Amino acid sequence: MRADVTTDPTRDGTPVPLLQVDDLAIEFATPDGVVRAVDGLSYSVSAGRTLAIVGESGSGKSVSSLAVMGLLQQPPARIVRGSIRFGGTELLSLGQKAHRAVCGENIAMVFQDALAALNPVHTVGWQLTEALRARHGMSRRDATARAVELLDLVKVPNAKQRVKEYPHQFSGGMRQRVMIAMALSMDPEVLIADEPTTALDVTVQAQIMRLLSEIQAERQMGLILITHDMGVVANVADDVTVMYAGRAVEQASVFDIYAAPAHPYTRALLGSIPRLDQKGGGLAVIPGRPPDPTQVPAGCAFHPRCAFAEDVCRADPPPPTVSLPFDRTSACHFAEEVMNHDEH
């Protein structure tokens, strides 16, 4: 039975978010001190829409999603503040078992390392049918038939035979399709895909992203795509949240992000994408590296790498959000200047 939550699609004609995260802050206790991995993150995703959460490794993308799924190990992790609501249900007020029950039925996650996520000693079919039998009480025969249907859905060839095979007998791209099939087995309303094309070649990446887009459109799910690849974002996302050092530094529609980025970090990410219309010269890179989470610099965390930085950036934290036209926000002292900069 699906968890008892309310997910009315509209309120006064306005889409109501399926999943809403507000002011989420997460800390980790480490030998070097307390690390704030996520600091004041807010976003929402509605039915039929795709939200891309973008940033380099260590920006807090995956940690925030594990919190949504109730998969953070506490301790060392600790949710300091914030809200995670699915429909009318506040997930953080539930016990761990109830939280995971909601996620098991309504929110699913595709992990980036399919080989590590799949159990090597059980067949793919066994792993697909386990949840169906445990949660829905299906017989072995019915669950196996459903597993074959799911493999067909994600375009695994010869599904009736391959359902009997083990993860090591599948290619990387096919293992990722199996992971997507497992995530879809409970008919979730929200799907979180955490770097779903990591370590796959370009052609297979495109196939996986096209598959996710087709399934999302067919089922009208809310899709959260976690990635560092701005090229992938352009083809599939409706809205974008850019994260840096645990914070959302820019949030906007995908069109506005690409037309006129309003944060220097977003501009730098876009500038590092190879372009077919620009030949010769080296590939643009973002200087330096993300800050050590135990030693985040004063002021704006991005200022040591920022081409727009001035003294105020080194001394004062940026405003949490600068409101800009078209319901977009940027956490930058000079958001309007960056957005209106001539050299996009």
For 35-51, what is each residue's pLDDT tens digit?
Answer: 899 999 999 999 999 99
Whether 340 is covered by a domain: the verdict is yes
Which range, 172-186, 270-284, 304-318, has the best average confidence (pLDDT)? 304-318
State yes or no: pLDDT of 26 exceeds 80. Answer: yes
Tell whether the torsion through CA atoms of 203, 208, 212 and 217 is positive or negative. Answer: positive
Counting the structural domains of the chain, the total is 1
Q: Is residue 100 part of a domain?
A: no
Q: Is residue 341 assigned to a domain? A: yes
Q: Are strands 222-227 and 190-194 parallel, antiparallel or unpaired?
A: parallel
pLDDT, position 25: 94
Residue 306 lies in a domain: yes
Answer yes or no: is 54 within a domain.
no
pLDDT at 205 > cutoff 50: yes
**CA-angle at 270, arms to 265 and 274, nearest 5°:** 140
Lookup result for tokens 């791209």: 173
Does residue 121 lie in a domain region?
no
One-letter identity of residue 291: P
Mean pLDDT for the chain overall: 85
pLDDT in tens, 49-63: 999 999 888 888 999
pTM of the entire structure?
0.87
| CA-based max dimension of the chain | 68
Percent of the chain whose pLDDT exceeds 70: 92
Residue 234 falls inside a structural domain? no
Percent residues over pLDDT 90 in the chain: 31
Any domain includes 330? yes
Q: Are 21 and 81 in contact (CB under 8 A)?
A: no
Alpha carbon distance 132, 126 (integer Å): 10
Highest mean pLDDT among 101-110, 243-252, 280-289, 324-333: 243-252
Domain of 268, in residue numbers: 260-275+283-344
